[in-house]
Amino acid sequence: MTKFRLTTGIVAAGLALCATSAQAQDLLFWSTQAKPVEETQRMRDDVLSGFDQPVDYQAADEGPWITRIQAETQAGSGSIALLGGLHGDFTSVEGGLVDLDTDLDSANVVPAYAELGKLGGDGQKYVPWMQATYMMAANKQALEFLPEGADLNELTYDQLIQWAGAMAEATGGPKFGLPAGPKGLKHRFFQGYLLPSYTGGVVRTFKSAEAEEAWNKLAELWQFTTPASTNYAFMQEPLLTGEVWVAFDHTARLAEAFNQKPDDFVAFPTPKGPKGRGYMPVIAGMAIPATAPDPEASAALIDYMLSPEAQIATLRATNFFPVVDVDLPDDMPPSVKAAGEVISYTSKSEDSITALLPMGLGDAGGKFNQVYVDMFERTILGGQPIRDALDDQANALDALMKETGAPCWAPDAPSDGPCPVE
């Protein structure tokens, strides 16, 4: 037995060494996006196969993603050609990125997004790659419980609460759901939707009376929210199983529901509060690490990814929308059509309050989110008094702002110096 094992071992070791040297050096696209296995597959087969060099698309969790980049930066050499990630992912690895000189104007990239890619500095740290936003989705069975006179497209938070309450009463269990699990995007609901809708701000108004009201409304809504929400990452599954009838989530994280059962679900805009309708874009970008083996090939790959064809292919693959001006073909999947209608409705309505992604926080982006998540966990889940928790978390937020020196971003009014918590 030993002999057998030794021989196989030697063969294996030999194989392993050969394997390393024999493989061609594909361009490595190291990304936190398109992680679900089907999306990864489509990125490889449908999007990147059109580039003139072989590209190895690897989707990783944030942990390994960051660790790998940090390691390459520290070691001073690496194999990653191109990084893909969300705005927030890049803020944590800013130091390892080169300034890009991609011609964003001629690629027709939305200027506001191009600005975000500077991460609050002068150089273009990342180039916008694709965008998404958040919306609501409802099972058609839920519609009969809509409160009298409510318009799905102009729903208010009060009506949503009534609606959720009526569903809970009629079915015997809560049917509203939020992605409040560890990998869910609940903090974006607070930062981009709930708080701007009630307070018109995110940081300045953090502990205002309006903010207190917003959290109280959430507590009301939470009574009719399924308690399994704290396990959800993507709302498409509970919608498909029927556990949840009405849900808020990222457009890409609702896509499967519309694609698998297009006739069962409707998409509609997020609710409105006293100040209007909060609205938050999701921006994913591409960046080149300082250690990229062949920066020119990486830059060429960026140019390719911004081409209209690649942008449309990306939309089909990931349900993230283009960041450049393109005309979408008619044969888009149902999820894209559903989300597209909601987005165009929202962008036309006049009371939208655009909440941008946090800027200038450096690697404290995670701690910024944590302030809002802690609020949620302490009050809504933990039952602590809202006012006390708000004051407490406001101190944490204020300290964070002073430490990073980040000036206010929309929807908060601009500030000289760090954004104050008023």
Q: Which stretch binds another protein (CB under 8 A): 10-18, 129-137, 293-301, 302-310?
A: 10-18
44/125 with CB nearer another protein: 44
Contact status: 159 vs another protein (CB under 8 A) = no
Cβ-contact 153, 271 below 8 angstroms: no
Contact status: 4 vs another protein (CB under 8 A) = no
The CB-of-378 to another protein minimum distance in angstroms stands at 7
Q: Which stretch binds another protein (CB under 8 A): 65-73, 281-289, 305-313, 319-327?
A: 65-73
Give the DSSP letter string of 80-125: EEEEEEEHHHHHTTGGGBPPP---TTTTTB-HHHHHHTTTTSSS--
The CB-of-286 to another protein minimum distance in angstroms stands at 18
Choose, by CB under 8 A, the member of 98, 233, 326, 328 that binds another protein: 233
Whether the bond between 411 and the residue before it is cis, its omega within 30 degrees of 0, is yes
Contact status: 111 vs another protein (CB under 8 A) = no
What one-letter code names the amino acid at 148? E
The CB-of-220 to another protein minimum distance in angstroms stands at 16
Contact status: 41 vs another protein (CB under 8 A) = yes
Contact status: 23 vs another protein (CB under 8 A) = yes
Q: Which stretch binds another protein (CB under 8 A): 101-109, 133-141, 239-247, 264-272?
A: 239-247
45/99 with CB nearer another protein: 45
What one-letter code names the amino acid at 303? D
Cβ-contact 260, 207 below 8 angstroms: no
Contact status: 365 vs another protein (CB under 8 A) = yes
Contact status: 322 vs another protein (CB under 8 A) = no
Cα(422)–Cα(414) distance, integer angstroms: 13
Cα(187)–Cα(376) distance, integer angstroms: 9
The CB-of-211 to another protein minimum distance in angstroms stands at 20
Q: How many residues bind another protein (CB under 8 A)?
A: 82
197/298 with CB nearer another protein: 298
Contact status: 234 vs another protein (CB under 8 A) = yes
243/412 with CB nearer another protein: 243
Residue 143 to residues 229, 250, 272, 387, 398, Cα–Cα distance (Å): 21, 21, 18, 35, 42
Question: What residues contact residue 204 under an 8 Å CB cut-off, 6+ apart?
Answer: 408, 412, 413, 415, 419, 420, 421, 422
Residue 188 to residues 77, 244, 313, Cα–Cα distance (Å): 35, 20, 27
123/242 with CB nearer another protein: 242
Nearest to 361 by CA among 398, 396, 405: 405
37/105 with CB nearer another protein: 37
Choose, by CB under 8 A, the member of 183, 209, 309, 405 that binds another protein: 183
Contact status: 188 vs another protein (CB under 8 A) = no
SS3 content of the chain, % helix, strand, coil (to 5): 50, 15, 35
Cα(412)–Cα(278) distance, integer angstroms: 12
Q: Which stretch binds another protein (CB under 8 A): 68-76, 106-114, 212-220, 309-317?
A: 68-76
Q: Which stretch binds another protein (CB under 8 A): 116-124, 151-159, 348-356, 376-384?
A: 376-384
Owner of token pair 């409105």: 272
The CB-of-289 to another protein minimum distance in angstroms stands at 13
Contact status: 226 vs another protein (CB under 8 A) = yes
Cα(257)–Cα(265) distance, integer angstroms: 7
CA angle, 142 then 148 then 150, to 5°: 75
